[in-house]
Structure 1
């Protein structure tokens, strides 16, 4: 579930933010069209993307509360979003003492498509490449990695290990080889360029009363759609391993503040 600021991604972000009510009630198609129109997606694009998500097994047809046609999350999609919550909203401070999780895999040549899927999925989970067939990530990603590999039928090809880095080069030096930190830093700066000014505007207007629901919904969903890609591109390394000018802490702070200010106000617009 990637690709920020596309109709498909915005639909996924909408379900992630507001599409998991306790009663499991689905969004009516008319509601999806209204809510996506507020962030610039036209009705044909909504219908087309919903159909593709249904074919992929991420959405299932269901009747909305008023009896009209609608769509709810499949159990698989709900698991993906639940796993994502821990990254998108949690982001615990990683410690070097937590150690690492290693994924060591071997895929037969006859199943090279699974090898490609495995590599791409490990990369999306935040793993770096320590050596051919050996991928590494902070140990806190173990549970989500296990869920993902089991869900995709890739577990038989992978062994997972936990451990410490014992040398010979300094861990900060090797981490810079395992991950492309320059690219990740650029993603954080792009997020800040787009959404930090939005936060400033909301904070400056705070004395004028509570956020306007439609504007809060629009700005929050766009920020979430941009932000939710970052915890997957950024493995969440301990601060000791990061460059001194690392922008990740600031971008996390900006998203957290936008979430605090706008999420609930946006829900009032969603539930109109």
Structure 2
């Protein structure tokens, strides 16, 4: 294999990995209301509306099937895909994170996850760190992670579902040290990275909100805006655990970004769903 071929293959894989989150957003929005199933033709049609070719869709779906995110399933002789049970559960929990974000207060306390994984099972250590990062935990030390107390139940369920609970101890409690807790929070979480993510979202979608509020978008236009916007947004509630505002930097831009998302969701979700329904069931 030549260097040029290797580079082209890597570029193709990178594009496909970018398509997978978009496909998962699409299934999360529309497949669950269709008895957890989308026909191949419907999926390809909806992704074509987003500018993704059928070959790239099929390749991304194949990878998602190998990762047991999707399952191939025929219904009444029609080929299609459904979400795996574990994916359905993850999406249900994600709905709360994305659409009903919780803001902690100091009285909620904290949840600590303490773990120690043998070197012979280092893949479990990586899986633990990945799971805790996605839950929004910050790092106190290599085996000690922390999050606001309201995430304790979600953390327990997630670690149990992924077969990782046997490696951890969970504790809940208050912070009693006399040192500045706000300074500690800035060392436990990469707030600069979160601030940059929120700033990019605000810069990208404030003009979009202005445009769609001046005139009501047509269903196809709303769909083309809404799906990528939601796909971009849904990463952030998992990185941001909803820390108490008094522990965050002044004028924390996560609040403004969340308000922007909420307004876009109100304006775009219904016409976008109308376009999806027209593709799935034909014009009404």
How high is the TM-score relative to the length of structure 1?
0.93
One of 93, 100, 113 as aligned partner of 1:90? 100
Cα distance in structure 2, aligned partners of 1:138 and 1:5: 31
Aligned position for 1:55:
66
> Secondary structure at the residue paired with 1:261?
helix
Aligned position for 2:46:
35
**RMSD of aligned residue pairs (Cα, Å):** 1.7
Aligned position for 2:150:
140
> Secondary structure at the residue paired with 2:186?
helix
Change (3 A) 1:199 1:100: same
Matched, 1:18 2:30: yes
One of 66, 69, 94 as aligned partner of 2:79? 69
Q: Which runs of 5+ in 2 are unaligned?
A: 1-14, 279-284
One of 81, 87, 100 as aligned partner of 2:110? 100
Cα distance in structure 2, aligned partners of 1:143 and 1:214: 39
Note if contact 1:94-1:238 (Cα within 8 Å) is conserved in structure 2. Answer: yes
1:26 Cα deviation after fit: 1.0
Aligned position for 2:11:
none
Structure number having the greater helix percentage: 2
One of 190, 195, 208 as aligned partner of 1:198? 208
Cα distance in structure 1, aligned partners of 2:213 and 2:148: 35
Aligned position for 2:260:
254
1:109 Cα deviation after fit: 1.4
1:76 Cα deviation after fit: 0.6
Runs of 4+ deviating beyond 3 Å: none
How high is the TM-score relative to the length of structure 2?
0.89
Aligned position for 2:8:
none
Change (3 A) 1:19 1:182: same
